[in-house]
A = this chain, B = another copy of it.
Amino acid sequence: MRLLLLLFCFGLSTLSLQAEDGYRLWLRYDPIQNTALGSAYRAQLGQLSIGPDVDTTQATLAASLLELRNGLRGLLGVELTPARISVGTSGAAGGLRWKRVGEDEVAREGYRLRQRDGQLELAASSNVGFLYGTFHLLRLLQTEADLKGLDLLETPAKELRILNHWDNLDGTVERGYAGFSIFNWHTLPDVLDPRYTDYARACASVGINGSVVTNVNANSLIFREDYLEKAAALADVFRPYGVRLYLTARFSAPVELGGLETADPLDPAVIAWWAEKTREIYEHIPDFGGFVVKANSEGQPGPREYGRSHAEGANVLADALAPYGGIVMWRAFVYNSDPEADRAAQAYEEFVPLDGKFRDNVMVQVKNGPIDFQPREPFSPLFGATPETPLLLELQITKEYLGQGTHLVGLAPLFSEVLQADTRQNGPGTTVASTVSGLAGVSNVGTARNWTGHPFGQADWYAFGRLAWDPALGPERIYDEWAAMTYRPESKVRSTITEMLITSREICVNYMTPLGLHHLMATGHHYGPGPWVSDLSRPEWNPAYYHRADSAGIGFDRTVTGSNAVAQYAPEVRAKFADPETCPPEYLLWFHHLPWDFQMDNGNTLWEELCYRYQAGVDGTEWLAIKWAALEGEIDPERHAEVSQYLTIQQREAEWWKNACLAYFQTFAQRPFPDGVTPPPHDVDHYRSLDYPYAPGIRPQW
């Protein structure tokens, strides 16, 4: 045994020949360094007794067993010996046991992990429960948890835990900062990139159970026979991992692909076309999940073109899907270009009157805030406001507005903030989490070797899955797990990384859009600051529409003296937001246009506070770099160097944001920079002149 261990450690040093490229995500399964703990784990996990009704020839159970074997081989150097046991027996003492139970004991998708009579028992009622339980067990080992006295029952809080890929059929990714799409439609269905399997594994490891593989700016071609075969090949790869495939539906597909003259949802030919197309889809993908639809939004076709409502549009698709158990996820992200309207109010105005008019298998998918994935927004007033319409919470994992592919910004605090926000729509404690039926996250993965480009982008994928499974999980706990699994389960490593991730979101808010400011980014690619932009054709595309800075002050008055969008919130919430004295400073300029000398609670004027916040953001990026530098030698040099290089960009761009925004706002405020705030080295014309035509994340232009 001692020799075996020695051999095992030697194996480790050989492994290190292979540079750490990040491909393995948090599922690295490198040998556990803690010898005592390793021995204890080996003692517990050398044998697997497989109970009756657990048929490991079934795909999901086979995948579970494979994962367990690979995990234990990597972590412990153990070659697992599974043994089938019969009814009434319990298998080898001291081992692991898989036990099938009824849904009354453990709900579908859930699992129970507990010590019992010296055995570690994994019990589940569904195959995927064994898979999720296996990943949980491996996570316990990877995070060096104590297995003694283990007794836990896990059930997902939400049934729908879905990734949305804004991936185009030509391989590009809208708002993707990690290369091309991982889905290669050209070589599907023949080439089954092992990455497809590893993608599904990673999703399953955090409980994600659905994937929308096409962009919400949709393409009808996905419904063509040959593309359905490609989609079916992906679905076949995902299925063992409990990941259902969904597609985006372009509302005009009956015209573009079907050759009809209209896509009017009440036209019988259109209804028949969707029914037949849906039948064809299910012929290829028997467990197809359903459609996501972006309709009458940013130029996408929709029912309004035919004088029909969003409900009438959604229902025709819902009726087509209903016989097969599919659902429609209809996005509430709509706004028009009325200069008199407040964009923040429009989704609510459009969808609340439709409450009750949707079919049972329609869900309305609502972005976390009323605008568009800003570094901070108050929660959307739609949450809790449509008692008869199930909602999905849409979060953006890809960081379109939070530094894109190069900034270290942990999103779990943002996700958790909105999930825990109390809408008060049904009394105190009506959190956003409690009002939604599931979570949809706009994915940040691409063909980068490490999936996400910035190594810490992986943490956002991880956090999304964990929070979709259990919205009550604390961001600290999630990041502590991720850091231990992805880097090392050593205390300084995990605590430093956790602290960096937790703090980074507020740092980003400060250097980009403090105090409730929003939508200050440059046009098109959204890369970098552009608060001065005010000449775009649609008023609500201009940053100036949102910050409304003038000589009198700054901010968007959404109270009764302004757009009164605040009235869409429940009375208690409305009252708090509507009064600048009670409005939390982080939402202050979201709801109020205030004079530059407005007195903040801390005694600063608004102008001073704005300056200090921007400065704090910049200082925060320096703090991040110092924290990270202290981990040199504690983790692999490849990923340490990589993150350091990205931190250099983040520091420079944080300064850019601060300098550009303060130089610009000072032209209105006409006040000096307070002590402790480094004045911008250039005037605003310099920042306006900067030009980055090839910033990533948008359709490449010639």
Which residue of B19, B172, B179, B649 contacts A700 across the interface (Cβ within 8 Å)? B172
Distance in angstroms from A252 CB to nearest chain B CB is 15
The answer to whether B14 touches A186 (Cβ under 8 A) is: no
Whether A266 sits at the interface, judged by CB under 8 Å, is no
Known: A12-B14, A190-B649. A696 touches B21 (CB 8 A): no
A73 contact set on B, CB distance < 8 A: 17
Min CB gap A532→B, angstroms: 21
- Chain B CB within 8 A of A538 CB: no
Which of A601-609, A621-629, A638-646 is found at the contact surface with chain B?
Answer: A638-646
- A188-203: CB near B (< 8 Å → 1, else 0) gives 0011101100000000
Residues of B within 8 A of A221 (CB): 693-694
What residues on B are CB-neighbors of A448 within 8 Å? 447
The chain B residue sitting closest to A186, CB to CB, is: B696
Contact A645 B17 (CB under 8 A): no
Contacts of A700 in B (CB 8 A): 168, 170-172, 699-700
Interface members, chain A 1-45 (any B CB < 8 Å): 6-8, 10-15, 17-19, 21, 23, 29
Complex Cα distance A11/B701, Å?
49
A10 — which chain B residues lie within 8 A by C-beta? Answer: 7, 10-11
Q: How far is the CA of A168 from the CA of B29 in the complex (A)?
A: 38
Choice from B13, B29, B70, B185 contacting A11 with Cβ under 8 Å: B13
**CB of A648 closer than 8 Å to a CB of B:** yes
Q: Is A169 an interface residue (CB 8 A)?
A: yes
Residues from 436 to 486 in A contacting B, C-beta threshold 8 Å = 447-449
CA gap between A694 and B195 in the complex, in Å: 21
Q: Is A406 interfacial (CB-CB < 8 Å)? A: yes
Residue A57 interfacial (CB < 8 Å) = no
> Closest residue of chain B to A698, judged by CB?
B170
Interface membership of A81, Cβ < 8 A:
no
CA distance in complex: A650, B449 (Å): 26
Does any Cβ of B come within 8 Å of A180's Cβ? yes
Query: Does residue A695 face the partner (Cβ distance < 8 Å to B)?
Result: yes
Q: How far does the Cβ of A433 sit from chain B's closest Cβ, in whole Å?
A: 36
B19 pairs with A18, CB closer than 8 A: no
In Å, the complex CA distance between A37 and B186 comes to 44
**In the assembled complex, how far is the CB of residue A299 from the closest CB belonging to chain B, in whole angstroms?**
11
Q: Are B694 and A170 in contact (CB under 8 A)?
A: yes
How far, in whole Å, are A612 and B287 apart by their CA atoms in the complex?
46
**A646 vs B190: C-alpha distance in the bound complex, in angstroms?**
7
Closest-CB distance, A226 to chain B (whole angstroms): 9
Residues of chain B within 8 A of A699, CB atoms compared = 700, 702
Q: Is A15 within 8 A of B17, CB to CB?
A: yes
A692 CB to nearest B CB, Å = 8
Given the contacts A191-B649, A406-B187, A694 and B171 also touching, CB distance less than 8 Å: yes
A74 contacts B by Cβ under 8 Å? yes
Given A11-B10, A638-B194: A187 and B17 interface contact (C-beta under 8 Å): no
Closest to A217 in B: B702
- Chain B residue at minimum C-beta to C-beta distance from A18: B18
Known: A168-B700, A187-B405. 6 other contacts (CB 8 A): A7-B10, A10-B10, A10-B11, A191-B645, A194-B642, A447-B447
Can you list 26 A-B contacts with CB-CB less than 8 angstroms, sorted by A residue number? A8-B14, A10-B11, A11-B13, A15-B17, A15-B18, A17-B70, A17-B74, A19-B194, A170-B693, A171-B696, A172-B700, A179-B179, A179-B447, A180-B180, A186-B694, A187-B406, A187-B646, A191-B406, A192-B641, A192-B645, A194-B638, A195-B449, A221-B693, A447-B448, A447-B449, A699-B702
Q: Which residues of A contact B (CB under 8 A)?
A: 6-8, 10-15, 17-19, 21, 23, 29, 70, 73-74, 168-172, 179-180, 185-187, 190-192, 194-195, 221, 405-406, 447-449, 638, 641-642, 645-646, 648-649, 652, 693-696, 699-702
